[in-house]
Amino acid sequence: MTTPSHRYPSSRLFAGILERVKENFHNGIQQAETVSRATIDVQESSSVPDYAHKMNGSVFMKHFATIAIEGMLGDFIQMFQDVVMKRLVEEGMRAKEAGLLPDDELSTPSTPVAMQCPEPQAVVLSVPFSALSDAVIDISENATPRRFRFIDCSELVHGCTLRVLEYSDLSAQSYATISYVWRGVIGPATASMAKYGSFAVAGAIDGDPISIDVLLHVCRACLLDKIPLIWLDRLGIIQTSREDKAWQIQRMYSVYASCTKCYVLPGGTRRLASIGEPTLWIHRGWTLQEAVAPKECSVVIQWECTSGRFGNPRKPLGTSGTVEEIVSGESAQIELSSLLKASVAENVEFRIPSGPGTWKGQKIDITIRIFGTDEEAGWRHAFALSAALTPVDEVVDPQCIKKKTAFWRSAQMRTSSRPVDMVFSIMGLFGVTLNPRKFETHDRLGATIALAREILKQGGSPAWLATSLSLPENPSIRSFPKFPETDKAGAAVYEVGSQRLEAAELMQDVDVLEYGNPASCRAC
């Protein structure tokens, strides 16, 4: 990345200082050479031949040292200059993230260009919007078990048709995935989000209906990001086939790990949620893997403003990010890791452009609540997931113990309508593949024991032990904490004495031991 010097006057200042240092050094070298040659001339006129020979050797060494030192200092100056410019570039990037660069640099949504999809093995579904609203879709008639299925984004956005394509492997195409909750936020959608209606899928009627408008926004984001296909479990899995479900669950980690990008729908498939609206996305078991496995992850939200930025103006590093419009005045996407860090920080400001060439923009009043209903528990969930997303330092932690501990801690705060899914949803994070057909829906204990055995068999560490420090003991398997219950709000809870406490509250001691108090981050 190059940084124009006219954008950052300090770069010209540093360049001038470096030139002056270099010039002074060369002048000093020349003066030293002049003195040395004058001394040599005097010494060469001496009548003592041995002394002259010694001085000639000394002169050679001085010249050699001079050249060597000059070369070393030249390398040092170049290195110093590179470091300075690197810092200037980094400061510029931080300033941009913090909203300290002109607003006209923010991107505006463009019309997404249609993209050609790779030739599929089969087209299992093709339904126009006019026939899709209020319909119950069944892909089993044309789908072949043990294959991967994707929505054609171009056909949805430009052809107003839901087209599902089938492939035999994941490597042949670039695709995105969707992370969402089976039952999301309630309440009516805005008029702009209810143009085309919704549909259901046979075998998954108990989940929220899928809004065609929500799919349109996500597929538009895909095309803007140059991704032609998107995977949605409701349509990617034959919901009426036990065989296909078991096969897909075993490959779920690969589906998310191999995707180009994952789009998070915290509000579910019924409608988009706003950034200040509490959701249960971070409480659900499967969403941990869906957030951690992909190379890139963005949160898709309802957004009525233009593209903007957010961050702590006093300490932008680590709390800043960009809001990128998808559909102007309706939706936007934000990088997941940036939003998580901002949600546990204090004094985070959101700003939108107030005119071309302005520097700080207009401040808008927004509080981040999208990761939890209860503020304290929400911070802890966001803090735990942020830790799970932190890149591994292979020098300090070559076995990734800290990251794997973060996986267990975040998983222990989550719930699933099928208890056994709490194991299937994380097994891929530890490089384990269990056969789902060997376990009953409520056999979380049996699946947990099988997972632990496989981890140890592969030479892994029992990173789950850290989660047992402050949670009630599991009477059936002492090295694991007791499995939490699910309350009416969908949160993981424990009975402690006469109280029912969220797992996130009880995890406080573990968080303090590993990372310090999450609440203290809000003083940043």
At 239, give phi and psi (nearest 5°).
Answer: -65, -20
499's torsion region: left (phi>0), alpha (psi -120 to 50) or beta? beta
User: What is the reported pLDDT for 73?
Assistant: 46
Lowest mean pLDDT among 244-248, 300-304, 328-332, 374-378: 374-378
Mean pLDDT, residues 361-377: 81
Contact 432, 426 (CB under 8 A): no
74 in any annotated domain: yes
Q: Cα–chain-centroid distance for residue 102?
A: 26
Contact 85, 11 (CB under 8 A): yes
What digits encode the pLDDT tens for the residues 398-453? 888 999 999 999 999 999 999 999 999 999 999 999 999 999 999 999 999 999 99
Going by C-alpha positions, the residue among 79, 101, 78, 103 that lies closest to residue 8 is: 101
Structure tokens, 24: 């002074």
What does the alpha-carbon distance between residue 331 and residue 156 come to, in Å, rounded to a whole number?
Answer: 17
Q: 146 or 18: whose pLDDT is higher?
A: 146
Residues 6+ apart with CB under 8 A from 179: 262, 263, 264, 265, 281, 286, 287, 290, 291, 297
Domain boundary among 62, 97, 132: 97
Same domain? For 398 and 353 the reply is: no
Sort 94 into a burial class: Cβ within 10 Å, 0-12 / 13-18 / 19+: middle
258 in any annotated domain: yes
104 in any annotated domain: no
Q: Provide the CB-side half-sphere exposure for 24 (13 A, CA).
A: 7
Lowest mean pLDDT among 37-51, 296-310, 423-437: 37-51
For residue 334, what pLDDT band results from cuts at 50, 70 and 90?
very high
Mean pLDDT, residues 65-82: 46
Structure tokens, 12: 């010209």
206 in any annotated domain: yes
Contact 364, 352 (CB under 8 A): yes
User: What is the reported pLDDT for 521?
Assistant: 46
What does the alpha-carbon distance between residue 193 and residue 154 come to, in Å, rounded to a whole number?
Answer: 19
The average confidence (pLDDT) of the chain is 81
Q: Which domain holds residue 320?
A: 122-364
What digits encode the pLDDT tens for the residues 82-127? 544 455 445 455 545 444 444 445 556 678 999 999 999 999 999 9
Q: 356 or 451: whose pLDDT is higher?
A: 451
Question: Is residue 235 scored above 80 in pLDDT?
Answer: yes
What does the alpha-carbon distance between residue 382 and residue 372 come to, in Å, rounded to a whole number?
Answer: 8
At 480, give phi and psi (nearest 5°).
Answer: -115, 150
Question: Is residue 313 scored above 50 in pLDDT?
Answer: yes
Mean pLDDT, residues 67-85: 46
Mean pLDDT, residues 19-47: 52
Same domain? For 220 and 147 the reply is: yes
Bridge-based pairing of strands 261-265 and 297-302 is: parallel
Same domain? For 154 and 222 the reply is: yes
- The DSSP secondary structure of 404-469, one letter per residue, reads HHHHHHHHHT-B-SSTTHHHHTTGGGGT----GGGS-TT-HHHHHHHHHHHHHHTT---GGGGGGS
What does the alpha-carbon distance between residue 330 and residue 214 come to, in Å, rounded to a whole number?
Answer: 11
> Residue 180: enclosing H or E segment and its boundaries?
strand 175-180
Lowest mean pLDDT among 23-27, 206-210, 480-484: 23-27
Question: Is residue 15 scored above 70 in pLDDT?
Answer: no
Contact 484, 493 (CB under 8 A): yes
What does the alpha-carbon distance between residue 300 and residue 230 come to, in Å, rounded to a whole number?
Answer: 14
In sequence order, the β-bridge partners of residue 210 are 199
Same domain? For 287 and 168 the reply is: yes
User: What is the reported pLDDT for 507?
Assistant: 80
Sort 268 into a burial class: Cβ within 10 Å, 0-12 / 13-18 / 19+: buried
Q: What is the DSSP letter of 239?
A: T
Going by C-alpha positions, the residue among 145, 151, 154, 158 that lies closest to residue 120 is: 151
Sort 116 into a burial class: Cβ within 10 Å, 0-12 / 13-18 / 19+: exposed
What does the alpha-carbon distance between residue 506 and residue 469 come to, in Å, rounded to a whole number?
Answer: 10
Same domain? For 166 and 201 the reply is: yes
Q: What is the DSSP letter of 274?
A: B
Question: Is residue 36 scored above 70 in pLDDT?
Answer: no
Most confidently modeled of 201-215, 350-364, 382-396? 201-215
Domain boundary among 346, 364, 382: 364
Same domain? For 280 and 359 the reply is: yes
299 in any annotated domain: yes
Same domain? For 79 and 195 the reply is: no
Same domain? For 13 and 158 the reply is: no
**What's the total number of domains in the chain?**
3
Between the two ends of the chain, the Cα-to-Cα distance in Å is 29
User: What is the reported pLDDT for 359?
Assistant: 46
What does the alpha-carbon distance between residue 461 and residue 402 come to, in Å, rounded to a whole number?
Answer: 11
Q: Provide the CB-side half-sphere exposure for 465 (13 A, CA).
A: 6
Question: Is residue 70 scored above 50 in pLDDT?
Answer: no
Same domain? For 77 and 159 the reply is: no
Question: Is residue 148 scored above 90 in pLDDT?
Answer: yes
Q: 506 or 108: whose pLDDT is higher?
A: 506
- What is the torsional sign of CA 94, 387, 349, 366? positive
Domain boundary among 30, 64, 97: 97
Question: Is residue 383 scored above 70 in pLDDT?
Answer: yes
What does the alpha-carbon distance between residue 345 and residue 372 come to, in Å, rounded to a whole number?
Answer: 15
Structure tokens, 242: 């036990």
371 in any annotated domain: no
What does the alpha-carbon distance between residue 187 and residue 439 come to, in Å, rounded to a whole number?
Answer: 36
% pLDDT > 70, the chain:
73
For residue 156, what pLDDT band results from cuts at 50, 70 and 90?
very high
61 in any annotated domain: yes
Same domain? For 159 and 211 the reply is: yes
Same domain? For 87 and 127 the reply is: no
Q: What's this model's pTM, rounded to 2 decimal places?
A: 0.78
105 in any annotated domain: no
Lowest mean pLDDT among 27-41, 88-102, 316-330: 88-102
% pLDDT > 90, the chain:
57
Same domain? For 261 and 397 the reply is: no
